[in-house]
Structure 1
Amino acid sequence: MAGKSVRRKIERSVAITRAYLRIERIQKLEKISRIYLRELADMVGCDGCAIILINTDKAKILAERGFTKTFKKLEFNTDVPAIEHVVNTKQAIFTGDIQSNPTADYIPHGCPINSLICTPIMVNDEVRGIIHLDSPKKNAFNKKDMEFTELLSKEISTAFRQSFQYSQARHVLARDALTGCFSRRQFDADIVADITSAKKHKEQLSILLVDIDWFKNYNDFHGQPKGDKLLKKVADVIASNIRAYHKIYRYGGEEFAILMADANQDNALCAARRLQETIEQEQFRGEKKSQPNGKITVSIGVATFPSDAVKKGKLIEAADLALYRAKESGRNQVCVYIKKK
């Protein structure tokens, strides 16, 4: 018996190590959870098991086996009794005869579960996930199963924390610190994805390049701090005057880019003119003192996929040429790309 117990303990340690080595370079919680769940299901006999992500008042299944046969859902509120208990108390549930004790209230009426383990996955003293095991058999799980599940929850906690940190870092990189717009790095990734999607669905895609006219005059006259405030305000005006599913980026310096999914040239031109007129009518502090025409204005270049270009570089170049023509034609206007004959 002692030899069997030691062997079982070694097997559990090997399972943890094997899972850790496989998730070391993975940052997506779904993939991490599937790896750990596979090891859990192999080590502990159960009819249903799941790793659940807790996010405020929502619970989402990251990985599962047999769980949805009983509960039918992949996402639900955290007011489900068993989940609510674990989240509020930060304590595990472990029972082999759920129907004959108060834990019966933790499962839906008519649910065939008798044995249940729910252990919290803690991140910074907060329940951010739950490992769920169930079986219709009584006393299907023993103390060793519970200990292994708790050990696994600690390992998953580390993976969760690293994944959250990675997501936060990606969010920071995706945004421009000054204006709150998406960053140039994000633009380079999104335009490729948007062109691919437009090709797949046979849709059009337009890009607007927006440049603040005579920004250097404003920045030199008022100083960089006020120049930064101007950039932020212009970004806010743009964001308030485009559709929610269109994306604005700080493209560089005083230049912004807008990706307009499923927008043809007419749609994009109409939006660009509306934006140009809105900014011209907006009041900006100090504009009369520093700007040649006494107003903050923008020039906008418009290009559309696939009529103007089908590749990322060529589409950006087309919008840039249209912007150049708008500025060369006197600024404070919108120009669309015109192909050379």
Structure 2
Amino acid sequence: MTVQTERPDSRPAEVLKADGGERRAPRRTAAARARTTALAPYLLLFPALAATLLLLGWPLVKNGLLSFQNLNMRQLIQHLTEWNGIDNYAEVLASSEFWRVAVRSVLFTGANVVLIMIFGTLVGLLLARLGSKMRLTLLIGLVLAWAMPPIAGTTVFQWLFAQRFGVVNWVLDKLGFHSMADHNWLGTQFSTFAVVTLLIVWQSIPFVAINLYAATTTIPKELYEAASLDGAGAWTSFTSVTMPFLRPFLLATTFLEVIWVFKAFTQVFAINEGGPDRLTEILPVYAYIEGFGNQHFGMGSAIALLTIVILLALTSYYLRIVLKQEEDEL
């Protein structure tokens, strides 16, 4: 009698089930799957990171190289490269005009951000209180204002505040302020900044309001009911329930608004090109006028990089305050 014996499986025992049934995936495949899972987030981020490096990183590097060159129209036409080291930075930092513009930019940003956050928060809280129809109407108006391109909004404000045929002067004249009939709103530093501030605040309120309204929808209604049972009034409910939930959104939105307002080139330049007498220039406008207007391209590049450094200093200081508040709360 011939006895047949099966050749034992040479693969590891762990690939077989205990009952001899269906085989599991080899350990090598499981390890590869784990590596793929670990790399998945980085693979998904790679296209965005590559596009960011290409569209933002290379222009920044190019701007940095230009800031160390003496590049005027002659060098540009003749394709000459004249390196001058840190001369551009030394000249800019030694200029009192640069520091005046820097201080003006910081004050301008601070005033705008405060107004934007106050009125944006109020409108966001109003959205949470309105009925569905009124809320939808206000949201449509906010979205339309938010979607308007900055240059289009700036053009509308130029028409509104025009000296001879502006709607604002016409309305003031009809209301009895006849001296305002031909008032030049762009004739002084203060009035020009007032118009620009009104424009920027109007364009920024929708972003803050919609964010804050979305944040209010995440607050559990049970907390308000509990506060009401404890005898809390409207102000106490706001400070004890609403504000703790809104604080992270307010801090993040303020951070974004600081960046957005600090680089508000379009509105300031399109309204009056930094006038009158360059008294309303902020750093982005100052860099453009020095670089392209006066054809000192290396100088303009140096001012642009210094603008980035100042903005990074402001935002890092703000982030440090935010992190300190979070640590104190913990």
TM range (shorter): under 0.3
Higher relative contact order (CA 8 A, sep 6+): 2
- Determine which structure has more spread, i.e. the larger CA radius of gyration: 2
Structure in which a larger fraction of residues adopt strand = 1
Structure in which a larger fraction of residues adopt helix = 2
